[in-house]
Structure formats: C-alpha cells, structure tokens
C-alpha cells in the first residue's frame, strides 16, 4: 500500500513538471507580453522593464532559471502586482477559495448522495421525478445564472443575505449554494443511477430474502456499492472546488484565487499564470491520489491488483 502510494506520488511530480513546461511554452506562444499597454512605452523604458524581470535573457535560460527557482519553491515575482511574489499572492488568496470550496463540496456531496439515494430507492415515484427535474435544472444552469438568480431572490427581493463581499458565515451562503448547485445535481443523478443498478443485484435480493431490515440493506449493501462510481467523480470535483471559481468569486466579490485563472492570462503575468496552474495541477494530482487510495480501501480487488503487477 505504501509502495503504491509512493509510486503514485512520483508520477504526480512528473505530471507537475510536464504541466509547468507546457504552460511555460504556451505562454510564450500567445501574442502580447506583460508590458504591452494601451499607452505604448518608450524603448528605453521597455528595456529597463525587461532587464528588471530578466525577460531579456534567452527563452532557454528563462526556462532553466524558472525550473531552478521552482525546485526551491520560489514562484517568482508577479509582473502586474509590483513588489509581490506569486507565492505570497497565492498564499493570501487561497484560504478564501479553500473555505468556500470545502463548504460547497460538503453541500454537494451530502446533498447529492442524499437526494440520489432518495430518488433511486423510490424509483418512478413523484419524489424520484421531482428530484430528477430539479437535478436536470441544476446540471443545466450555468453558475452565472444560478448566482444571479440567488442574488435577485435573497439579496434584492427578500434582502436577507448580502449579495457579495466576504465578512463572515452569512456572506458564504449564496456563493456556496451557487458553487454547489451543479455538482450537487450531478452527484444526485450519478448516485441515483448507481443505486438503481445496485438495487437489482442478486446480493440485495438475497439480503432482503434473509430478512435484513430495509434501512440496513440500503446503508450496507446498496449505498456502499453505489458510492464507488460517485467517489471517482468526487476526487477531481474536490480539486476544482478548492481552487476557486472565477465566476463565483467575481460575482460575489470573494478574495480567492479563482479570478487569477483569467486575469493573470489577460495581463500576461507569466509567473502568476504558472503559479495558479501549478496549484491547480497539484490539487488534482493529490485529489486523484486520495481517491485511488480510498478506492483501494473500499474495494480490496484494486489494492490486490496493484500489488501483484
């Protein structure tokens, strides 16, 4: 098990290196640089800027230098935010994204599984159909629509909740709901489908025939087996939610890292783009690793298979 985890960790580091390299290359291919502005700068000032940020070195030198710094955990200075390091920017912005993401993940996971189980075990009833319709809406509505609808209802019409800013638990309600709506609905659909499939299995019929009480059948035999497929979805979902959402953070004015995924590219702030990309990639790698380990724990066949190979 430990050897398995270690091997996956090494593979993860290789993935990060590939991501850093590809991002580095792509950024230099995209036209326009960090100091191209509406007010064009005189050539001597452009030269001073390029020298300051070592952009006058050859691309190869810049790449080697970048990797060397990266190995020491130095993500370099931001080109846009004068005097601030990318590591500092990310460290300051990450907590808000993590809090919001964790909240939304908890909402999506708990709500999605509960609704999916409720619908799957009451197949073709009014409850099933209502949940089916609601989850269809949830899966289809883009976040900016969900967010706007929530702001309109609870912010403007009812005036119960603030429409933005990040000052305390009340301020997290609307953005967390907005962020959770889509994965919640999707998790509900996924869980329902799995539950329906598992309910038809022989071992469920056997358990019932043996007189196991229905709640116990659902918890032990149905849910546990149905969750396997849902878990696969939760890994990348957790990574996505924890690294912030550009749309939700912009709409609700939350100081997270989500906005940098767009603004850093618009500004051609190379070190910041690389920084957020690497953070996201690292989260995905870790979350997938966690899911695989959880998998192995839930389903012994996977663990045995891995150790044999």
Partner 1 sequence: MRLRHAVAALALAALGCRGERAEPRTLRINLATEPPTLDWNLATDGVSIIAIQQLMRGLTKLGEDLRPEPDLAASWDVSADGRRYTFHLRPGVLWSDGAPLVAQQFVDSWQRLLAPATAAEYAYFLFGIRGARDYNGGKLADFAQVGVRAPDAATLEVELAAPLVYFPALVNFMVTFPIRRELVERFGERWTDPGNLVSLGPFTLEEWRHEYRLVLRANPRYWAGRPPLDRIDAYMVQEGSTSLVLFEQGLLDLVRIPPLEIRRYEGRPEYVRKPLLRGYYYGFNTRRPPFDDARVRRAFALAIDRSQFPPLLRGGEQAWSSWIPPGMPAANRELGLRFDPGKARALLAEAGVDPAQLAPVRIVFNSDQAHKLVAEQVQAFWRDNLGVRVELAPREWKVFLKELANDPPPVFRLGWGADFPDPDNFMNLFTSYSENNHTGWANPRYDALVEEAAREPDLARRQALYDRAQRILCEEDVPIVPLFVTGANFAVAPRVQGFVPSAMDLFFFEKVSTE
Q: Which residues sit at the interface with partner 1, rule CB under 8 A?
A: 30-33, 35-45, 47-49, 51-52, 80-84, 89, 92-93, 148, 151, 155-156, 158-166, 168, 170, 173, 250-253, 255-256, 259, 266, 268
Nearer to partner 1, 59 or 67 (CB): 59
The token pair that represents 303 in the structure block: 């663990």
Count CB atoms within 10 A of the CB of residue 71: 9
Nearer to partner 1, 117 or 151 (CB): 151
Q: Which residue has the tokens 């550009």?
A: 246
From the CB of 181, what's the least distance to partner 1, in Å? 18
Buried b (16+ CB within 10 A) or exposed e, 270-291: bbbbbbbbbbbbbbbbbbbbeb
Task: Kindly give, in sequence order, each residue whose CB lies less than 8 Å from that of residue 108, ignoring residues fewer than 6 positions away.
Answer: 180, 183, 184, 187, 237, 241
From the CB of 211, what's the least distance to partner 1, in Å? 34
Q: Are 113 and 167 in contact (CB under 8 A)?
A: no
Half-sphere exposure in the Cβ direction for 219 (13 Å, CA):
5
Nearer to partner 1, 115 or 222 (CB): 115
How far is Cα 2 from Cα 136, in angstroms, rounded to an integer? 41
Nearer to partner 1, 68 or 84 (CB): 84
Nearer to partner 1, 44 or 202 (CB): 44
From the CB of 272, what's the least distance to partner 1, in Å? 12
Nearer to partner 1, 112 or 147 (CB): 147
Task: Kindly give, in sequence order, each residue whose CB lies less than 8 Å from that of residue 235, ignoring residues fewer than 6 positions away.
Answer: 287, 288, 290, 291, 292
For residue 184, give the H/E element and its range: helix 169-199
From the CB of 233, what's the least distance to partner 1, in Å? 28
From the CB of 305, what's the least distance to partner 1, in Å? 46
From the CB of 149, what's the least distance to partner 1, in Å? 13
């Amino acid at each position: 098990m430990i050897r398995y985890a270690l091997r996956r960790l090494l593979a993860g580091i290789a993935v990060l290196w590939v991501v850093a390299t590809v991002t580095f290359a792509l950024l230099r291919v995209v036209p326009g640089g960090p100091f191209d502005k509406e007010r064009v700068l005189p050539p001597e000032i452009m030269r001073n800027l390029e020298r300051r940020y070592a952009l006058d070195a050859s691309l190869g030198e810049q790449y080697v230098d970048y990797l060397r710094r990266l190995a020491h955990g130095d993500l370099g200075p931001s080109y846009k935010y004068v005097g601030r390091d990318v590591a500092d920017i990310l460290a300051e912005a990450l907590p808000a994204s993590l809090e919001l993401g964790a909240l939304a993940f908890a909402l999506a996971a708990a709500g999605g599984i509960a609704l999916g189980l409720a619908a799957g075990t009451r197949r073709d009833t009014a409850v099933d159909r209502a949940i089916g319709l609601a989850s269809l809406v949830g899966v289809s509505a883009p976040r900016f629509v969900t967010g706007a609808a929530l702001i309109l209802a609870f912010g403007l019409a009812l005036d119960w909740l603030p429409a933005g800013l990040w000052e305390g638990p009340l301020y997290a309600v609307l953005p967390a709901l907005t962020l959770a709506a889509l994965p919640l609905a999707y998790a509900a659909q996924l869980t329902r489908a799995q539950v329906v499939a598992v309910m038809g299995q022989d071992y469920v019929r056997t358990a019932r025939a043996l007189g196991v009480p229905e709640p116990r059948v659902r918890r032990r035999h149905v849910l546990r087996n149905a969750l396997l497929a849902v878990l696969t979805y939760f890994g990348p979902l957790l990574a996505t939610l924890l690294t912030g959402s550009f749309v939700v953070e912009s709409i609700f004015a939350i100081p997270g890292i989500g906005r940098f995924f767009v603004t850093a590219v618009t500004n051609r702030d190379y070190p910041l783009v690389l920084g957020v990309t690497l953070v996201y990639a690292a989260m995905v790698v870790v979350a997938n690793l966690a899911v695989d380990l959880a998998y192995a724990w839930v389903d012994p066949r996977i663990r045995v298979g891995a150790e044999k190979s």
